[in-house]
């Protein structure tokens, strides 16, 4: 896939294959195109050239089918500040046609630990609390494919553990693609890793090591070689 | 409620609740339209012989510019809070988002018009209740927001969005505005309703055309 903004190429021919059930972490320096890649995969924007399929559906022609299966946790919370957490979840739940919505809201809110503040307006919550509601929003429809764009931003260790618990609760067939700068966290969660440099995937495969320090050497080797 | 109608209703209910909490749009429209009516009524002080010429222009200047103010805000909250991405992620027909937004803008603008009309009548010494004028406002507002919603979605992604909306929007909505002013003039001058009918048909035709075309191309307006 190729994606440019004006004359500025951001993705220069990304080739990516992810199996069902995989947890792929994509590492890359600033400006490598990680967020743009996730935005194309999330069907926010179309690639200028190339094609892609998610769960067998074409990302440009069958975007609605992909969206039905997709959950995104991004830098933005995608929440309305003047609505409560409950009202936000109810709105998104309706948009996703979530069956038995009330019980699903109760279940996901319990998982993110926000029962006590569910009816408080989102604008009055702390950054971490908003992020928890944002995770509940992303998971309200039990997505089978989850995109995480640097999810550790604004989340403490407890919240990250909560997030991985929710991902596990989606079942073994759920697929996760995560972008991050945090090598330790990204390596710990993934079974597959990718390195994106200047808009190209320069490495993808099973994680070569469990040791963050050793992986850092591999990572910087690829970054320097393709910079 | 499920299906297309359920999504439209969910969008509309969300926008109405947000407006009920923030009271940003309707109040701004009201204040703007009220000030316009007051200023024009003092500036012109039209006599009974010229009321049919001046009053329709005064009324539609107030409605049009207040309406643009409201349309400018239709997607701003979604954009600034990042919720536009949340909407784009939803597996719903883009037409559902369009109709939800359009209906909300219509309700905000029509509430303003219902409140402003008696004030306009008092300031210009006209009958308080003018059902034909209300019908013209109803029909013209549908066309106005049908086009305005799509240009609002386009303008929100530009840097000078407050400037872009009227620049893009007015050339397209001119037929509705002309028909609204002409038909209002007929009502205010007390002319025959036979003269009014072709203008109402014209507004209704534009409403239908704009609604269909705008709904169909809305998905391209939302894309980055």
Do B154 and B222 contact (CB within 8 A), yes or no? no
Asked whether the beta carbons of residue B17 and residue A46 sit closer than 8 angstroms, the reply is no
What φ, ψ does residue B52 adopt, rounded to 5°?
-65, -20
- Does the ipTM surpass 0.90? no
Structure-block tokens of residue A98: 């979530």
Tell me what the mean pLDDT of segment B26-32 comes to: 94
- In SS3 terms, B8-75 reads as HHHHHHHHHHHHHHHCCHHHHHHHHHHHHHHHHHHHHCCCCCCHHHHHHHHHHHHHHHHHHHHHHHHC
Asked whether the beta carbons of residue B10 and residue A79 sit closer than 8 angstroms, the reply is no
Give the residue numbers spanning the domain of A222: 2-78+143-226
For B222, which residue in chain A has the nearest alpha carbon? Answer: A44
Return the H-helix or E-strand segment holding A71: strand A70-73
A211: number of Cβ within 10 Å: 12
What is the tally of structural domains in chain A? 1
Residue in A213, A225, A192 with CA at minimum distance from that of residue A20: A192
The residue extents of the domains of chain B are 3-222
Q: State whether residue B47 sits within 8 Å of chain A by CB.
A: no
Is residue A103 situated within a structural domain?
Answer: no
* A92 closest CB neighbour out of B17, B77, B86: B86
Asked whether the beta carbons of residue A92 and residue B224 sit closer than 8 angstroms, the reply is no
User: CA-to-CA distance for B130 and A136, rounded, in angstroms?
Assistant: 51
User: Is the predicted pLDDT of residue A144 greater than 70, yes or no?
Assistant: yes
Tell me what the mean pLDDT of segment B137-152 comes to: 96
pLDDT on residue B224: 62
Is residue A206 situated within a structural domain?
Answer: yes
For chains A and B, CB pairs below 8 A equal 72
Do A193 and A24 contact (CB within 8 A), yes or no? yes
CA–CA min distance B87, chain A (Å): 8
* A67 closest CB neighbour out of B2, B6, B89: B89
Chain-centroid distance, C-alpha A51: 20
C-alpha pair distances (Å), B216 with each of A212, B21, B102, B156, B212: 50, 31, 13, 19, 6
Which residues is B2 bridged to in the sheet? Answer: none
Is residue A105 situated within a structural domain?
Answer: no
Is residue A32 situated within a structural domain?
Answer: yes
Is residue A118 situated within a structural domain?
Answer: no
User: Is the predicted pLDDT of residue A167 greater than 90, yes or no?
Assistant: no
Is residue A123 situated within a structural domain?
Answer: no
Return the H-helix or E-strand segment holding A179: strand A175-180
- pLDDT tens for each residue of A43-59: 988 999 999 999 999 99
Q: Which of residues 77-136 of B touch A (CB under 8 A)?
A: 77, 81-83, 85-93
Percent of chain B scored above 90 by pLDDT?
Answer: 67
Is residue A126 situated within a structural domain?
Answer: no
Structure-block tokens of residue B147: 């086009």
Asked whether the beta carbons of residue A68 and residue B91 sit closer than 8 angstroms, the reply is yes
What φ, ψ does residue B218 adopt, rounded to 5°?
-60, -35
Residue A199 belongs to a domain with what CATH number? Answer: 3.40.50.300
- pLDDT tens for each residue of B173-207: 999 999 999 999 999 888 788 889 999 999 999 99
Q: What is the DSSP letter of A172?
A: T
Asked whether the beta carbons of residue A78 and residue B83 sit closer than 8 angstroms, the reply is yes
pLDDT bin (cut points 50, 70, 90) of residue A138 is very high
Q: What is the DSSP letter of A140?
A: T
Structure-block tokens of residue B45: 């002080």
């Amino acid at each position: 896939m190729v994606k440019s903004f004006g004359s500025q190429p951001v993705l220069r021919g990304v080739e990516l294959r992810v199996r069902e059930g995989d947890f792929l972490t994509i590492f890359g320096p600033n400006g490598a195109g990680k967020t743009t890649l996730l935005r194309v995969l999330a069907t926010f924007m179309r690639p200028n050239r190339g094609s892609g399929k998610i769960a067998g559906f074409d990302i440009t022609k069958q975007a609605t089918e992909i969206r039905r299966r997709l959950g995104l946790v991004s830098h933005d919370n995608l929440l309305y500040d003047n609505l409560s957490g409950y009202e936000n979840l109810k709105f998104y739940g309706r948009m996703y046609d979530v069956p038995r919505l009330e019980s699903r809201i109760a279940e996901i809110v319990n998982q993110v630990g926000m029962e006590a503040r569910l009816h408080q307006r989102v604008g009055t919550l702390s950054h971490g609390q908003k992020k928890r509601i944002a995770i509940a929003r992303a998971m309200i429809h039990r997505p089978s494919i989850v995109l995480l764009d640097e999810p550790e931003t604004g989340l403490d260790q407890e919240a990250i553990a909560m997030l991985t618990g929710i991902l596990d609760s989606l079942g073994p067939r759920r697929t996760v693609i995560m972008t991050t700068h945090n090598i330790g966290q990204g390596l710990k969660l993934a079974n597959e890793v990718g390195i994106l440099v200047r808009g190209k995937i320069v490495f993808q495969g099973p994680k070569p090591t469990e040791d963050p320090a050793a992986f850092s050497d591999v990572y910087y080797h690829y970054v320097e070689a393709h910079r | 409620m499920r299906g297309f109608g359920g999504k439209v209703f969910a969008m509309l209910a969300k926008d109405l609740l947000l407006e009920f909490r923030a009271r940003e749009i309707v109040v701004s429209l009201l204040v703007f339209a009220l000030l316009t009516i007051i200023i024009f009524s003092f500036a012109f002080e039209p006599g009974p012989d010229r009321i049919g010429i001046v009053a329709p222009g005064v009324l539609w200047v107030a409605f049009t510019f207040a309406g643009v103010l409201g349309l400018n805000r239709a997607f701003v909250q979604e954009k600034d809070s990042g919720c536009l991405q949340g909407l784009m992620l939803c597996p719903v027909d883009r037409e559902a988002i369009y109709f939800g937004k359009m209906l909300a803008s219509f309700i905000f603008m029509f509430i303003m018009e219902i409140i402003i009309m008696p004030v306009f009548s008092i300031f210009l010494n006209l009958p308080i209740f003018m059902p034909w004028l209300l019908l013209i406002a109803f029909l013209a507002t549908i066309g106005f927001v049908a086009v305005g919603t799509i240009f609002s979605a386009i303008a929100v992604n530009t840097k000078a969005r407050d400037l872009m909306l009227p620049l893009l929007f007015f050339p397209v909505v001119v037929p509705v505005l002309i028909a609204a002013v002409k038909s209002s003039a007929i009502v205010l001058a007390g002319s025959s309703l036979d003269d009014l009918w072709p203008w109402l048909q014209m507004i209704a035709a534009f409403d239908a055309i704009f609604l269909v075309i705008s709904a169909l191309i809305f998905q391209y307006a939302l894309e980055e």
